[in-house]
């Protein structure tokens, strides 16, 4: 019987496995774990030991076959000088958000010389190292970094970014070039810390926002470059209905592609063929957060029927997922 780590890595490396792994490469932390370990959500993003404890708790409490850090989408932007709001004085489950942006033009993208110690990057690397100490080689440790266009939207005002992308794409291209250098370096830092697999999350490149032509001309070349230089196994995730660009996604060179619940998986499989590793795509809100326990199993099995190589949520797990729904997800997929 393989360990969960062996199952994940063999699967992503196209080796034979006893069954698809039950895992994800995006944010996985839920309130039942936080409550059991007495972790305050606003603190988990800045404390490597708490971050590791919350991530490993998904495996220890529910058998989810991975431990993924970080949990929020502001780590890279903060390392580039963006000011964050962590909502320390607010009760409840609020993710950190960008409070003050730092970039107007390409020259404003300044990559710290000592990137390993910039912003919260050492929190993530500390959590990765703590996970390896705690879990050994039993569980795969995943991490993710935002794609260049998505990250551009974190460090530059969105309205200005979109306007520039349409009217002066060469200026946006210059920003994306610098951000791509930064992203590759962050991935390598996480690899050196001990992460096992790596997800590039380009949510801003979705067809819901950018036309397929704009994606191909502006975003795709940077994704291909990053994926050629970042550690492997690699996964490319883009939100929204991406079937209009799914072949372009595959051509970027990731070992697997991840799609969200808006995608028709049958069409995705038809376009990419039988050999592609496709990860997706149950709705983490409607199914796992708000769905009834009795409906979770049938909903996640639809992803397998539709052509998923392994079942993933379409995006991050919402922290308020009930524990019984998480149990139903894992139990269903173990017996599928």
Specify the pTM. Answer: 0.97
pLDDT at 336 exceeding the cut of 90: no
**What would the mean pLDDT of 224-230 be, rounded to a whole number?**
98
Q: What are the backbone dihedrals phi and psi of residue 193, each rounded to the nearest 5 degrees, phi first?
A: -75, -20
Mean pLDDT of the chain: 95
Q: Residue 170 above 90 pLDDT?
A: yes
Q: For residue 82, what pLDDT is reported?
A: 95
Domain map of the chain by residue range? Answer: 23-335
Fold of 23-335: TIM Barrel (3.20.20)
Nearest of 231, 233, 254, 235 to residue 13 by alpha carbon: 233
At residue 124, φ and ψ (nearest 5 deg) are -65, -45
Quote the pLDDT of residue 155: 96
Give the tokens for residue 20: 């698809």
* Distance between CA atoms of residues 211 and 65, nearest Å: 36
Nearest by Cα to 65 from 147, 129, 130, 10: 10
Per-residue model confidence as pLDDT tens digits over 94-131: 999 999 898 999 999 999 999 999 999 999 999 999 99
DSSP 56: H
Pick 113 or 89 by higher pLDDT.
113
126 secondary structure, DSSP code = H
Buried b (16+ CB within 10 A) or exposed e, 251-261: ebbbbbbbbbb
Q: What is the spatial distance between Cα 76 and Cα 228, in angstroms, rounded to a whole number? A: 20
80, 103 contact by CB (below 8 A): yes
- The predicted pLDDT at position 91 comes to 78
| Residue given tokens 């409490």 in the structure block | 61
Q: In the predicted model, is pLDDT for residue 66 greater than 80?
A: yes
- How confident is the model over 6-29, as a mean pLDDT? 97
What pLDDT shows up at residue 269? 97
pLDDT at 69 over 90: yes
Structure tokens at 145: 């970094």
Q: Which of 186, 31, 42, 60 is nearest to 121 (CA)?
A: 186
pLDDT at 86 over 90: yes
């Amino acid at each position: 019987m393989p360990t969960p780590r062996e199952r994940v890595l063999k699967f992503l490396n196209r080796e034979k496995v006893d069954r698809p792994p039950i895992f994800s490469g995006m944010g996985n932390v839920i309130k039942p774990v936080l409550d059991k370990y007495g972790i305050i959500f606003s603190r988990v993003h800045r404390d490597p030991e708490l971050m590791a404890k919350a991530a490993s708790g998904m495996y220890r409490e529910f058998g989810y076959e991975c431990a993924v850090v970080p949990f929020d989408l502001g780590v890279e932007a903060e390392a580039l000088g963006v000011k964050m709001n962590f909502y320390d004085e607010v009760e409840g489950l609020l993710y950190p958000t960008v409070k003050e942006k730092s970039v107007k033009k390409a020259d404003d993208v300044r990559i710290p010389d000592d990137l390993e110690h910039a912003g919260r990057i050492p929190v993530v690397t500390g959590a990765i190292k703590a996970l390896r100490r705690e879990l050994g080689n039993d569980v795969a440790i995943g991490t993710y970094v935002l794609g260049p266009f998505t990250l551009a939207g974190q460090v530059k005002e969105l309205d200005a970014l979109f306007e520039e992308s349409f009217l002066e794409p060469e200026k946006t291209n210059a920003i994306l070039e610098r951000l791509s250098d930064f992203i590759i370096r962050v991935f390598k830092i996480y690899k050196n810390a001990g992460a096992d697999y790596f997800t590039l999350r380009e949510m801003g490149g979705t067809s819901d926002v950018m036309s397929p032509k704009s994606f191909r001309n502006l975003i795709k070349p940077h994704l291909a470059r990053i994926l050629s230089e970042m550690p492997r196994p690699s996964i490319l995730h883009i939100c929204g209905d991406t079937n209009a660009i799914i072949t372009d996604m595959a051509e970027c060179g990731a070992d697997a592609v991840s799609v969200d619940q808006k995608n028709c998986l049958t069409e995705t499989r038809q376009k990419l063929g039988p050999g592609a590793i496709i990860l997706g795509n149950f709705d983490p809100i409607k199914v796992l957060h708000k769905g009834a326990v009795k409906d979770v199993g049938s909903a996640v099995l639809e992803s397998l029927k539709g052509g998923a190589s392994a079942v993933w949520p379409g995006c991050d797990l919402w922290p308020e997922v009930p524990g019984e729904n998480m149990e139903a997800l894992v139990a269903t997929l173990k017996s599928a």
